[in-house]
Structure 1
Amino acid sequence: MIKLDKLTKYYPSDLGNQYIFQDISFTFPEGRNVALLGSNGAGKSTLFRILAGSEYPNKGKVVTDKALSWPVALATGIHPQMTGRENTRFIGRVNGVANLDEYEEKVKAFAELSVKYDLPVKNYSSGMRSRLAFGCCVAIDFDVYLIDEATSVGDQKFRQKAKNALLEKSKTASVIMVSHDMKEIRQFCDSAVILHQGELTFYDDLEEALDVYKTL
């Protein structure tokens, strides 16, 4: 279960509080791979960050009994002073990974960092940092993967590898995805939620949702 309980989010401005949404209550369907859709400025990225726990609502809360990933493509929680290996062990411990040695090697192989795995992350390129974060995420069995333009990480070969890994995960776990790529959404998702004018609407039929989305 992932439930939004009277969720309110606004940003202060010189013209007063600018509300993204107010008192949203909504329950995401279980066992579905869901695209989160909305026009520019609708608040879908804000809602996505709230689901991920990287941003907080002004009122209300997210209630869940599921293990949610951080947004897969983002280098969230990666510490620049620590090596790739040290970051991996830290993330593994925080997420309750039982066999840290096995987890380390799995991440190293997936991220394709070679000897640089034992260098401080501050020496990494942005692509290397993203690959490390991606590897740390997909090597953990979450109940729900939060995917935000995830397959834009790295070069073409790595992007395909990343997409294949996430498609494999989507067979045994649920997905909530934000993407502007309709082809990607059709690959990963079987249903959608549209955020429009502060309201969330679930569509069991993905194609129906995409047709509605095009009219917003």
Structure 2
Amino acid sequence: MSEPILYLRNANVYQKNFLVLSHVNMNLEKGEFYYLIGKTGSGKSSLLKILYGDIPLLEGQGKVVDIDLVSLKDSEISTLRRKLGIVFQDFQLLTDRSVEKNLLFVLKATGWKDKYAINERIEEVLQSVGMATKKHKMPHELSGGEQQRVAIARALLNHPALILADEPTGNLDPETSNEIMLLLKGIAQQNHCTILMATHDYSMIKNFPAKTIKCENGKIYHGDSNDLFI
């Protein structure tokens, strides 16, 4: 079996000196789709922040995309994030520039210099999320679903092996949420990319079954989404 794309061993997750999750053990395999579920305040966002270096891992062991979280220095956080794709509930697009220039900004910030390669990659990711005809639009000219598609395109730019999605359908209507879920599931399969998606939406989980990691009472539990509806 290949090495997991992410693992945590006996990890304790703190938020402002408060222990929110204890003795966390996780293995995420390459190319798999996982839900991260739990009530508000159960530790989902804190766990995700550990994984992309926003909160330090002070106790236990952990590695994400071959980067050790315990020894992670501030100067190495940008390297970690270049190897990840991160999708937020509120899109976090730069509102003062077009779709194309949002993606250009990320590529230049992560070291891309060849103009032809940059343009080609922007075209590829926009095509993959069905937004190739909207690259000159400003974010305010797009619907919520379209903005989230652009955010997913942005997450794909550097060919990540792992995408962390924090409530990516939280601001979307049910029909658009289904479209985004189909897109994310397709990306996991086609790119052999692992996706860890935090969500409160149990109807989504029921319609798109996958492995689940549940945060509850300061612990995490592993299972299958079907287990939630027995």
TM-score (norm 2): 0.66
Deviation, 1:91, is 1.7
Aligned to 2:196: 176
Aligned to 1:14: none
Which runs of no fewer than 5 residues in structure 2 stay unpaired? 67-82
- Structure-to-structure mapping, 1:119-130, within 5 angstroms: 127=144, 129-130=147-148
Deviation, 1:52, is 3.5
Q: Percent identity?
A: 20
- 3-state DSSP of counterpart to 2:84: coil
Are residue 141 (structure 1) and residue 159 (structure 2) matched?
yes
Q: Structure 2 counterpart of 1:141, which letter?
A: H
Distance 1:193 1:175 in 2: 12
Q: Structure 1 counterpart of 2:7, which letter?
A: K
Given candidates 177, 198, 210, the residue that maps to 2:218 is 198
CA offsets 1:16-64 (integer angstroms, 9 cap, x no match):
x543234x342323143221122332111221233234x3136247421
CA offsets 1:152-191 (integer angstroms, 9 cap, x no match):
5667775554333212112232221211222322454432
Distance 1:146 1:189 in 2: 18
Cα separation, partners in 2 of 1:159 and 1:25, compared to 1, 3 Å: closer
Say if 1:68 and 1:142, in contact at 8 Å, map to a contact too. Answer: yes
Are residue 116 (structure 1) and residue 137 (structure 2) matched?
yes
In the alignment of these two chains, the number of paired residues is 198
Are residue 27 (structure 1) and residue 26 (structure 2) matched?
yes
Distance 2:171 2:118 in 1: 25
Aligned to 2:123: 105
Say if 1:33 and 1:189, in contact at 8 Å, map to a contact too. Answer: no
Cα separation, partners in 2 of 1:163 and 1:21, compared to 1, 3 Å: closer
- 3-state DSSP of counterpart to 1:166: helix
Deviation, 1:136, is 1.9
Given candidates 3, 7, 21, the residue that maps to 2:7 is 3
Say if 1:170 and 1:188, in contact at 8 Å, map to a contact too. Answer: no
Cα separation, partners in 2 of 1:58 and 1:10, compared to 1, 3 Å: farther
CA RMSD, aligned part only? 3.5
Distance 1:108 1:168 in 2: 15
- Structure-to-structure mapping, 1:157-176, within 5 angstroms: 159-171=177-189, 172-176=192-196
Cα separation, partners in 2 of 1:156 and 1:29, compared to 1, 3 Å: closer
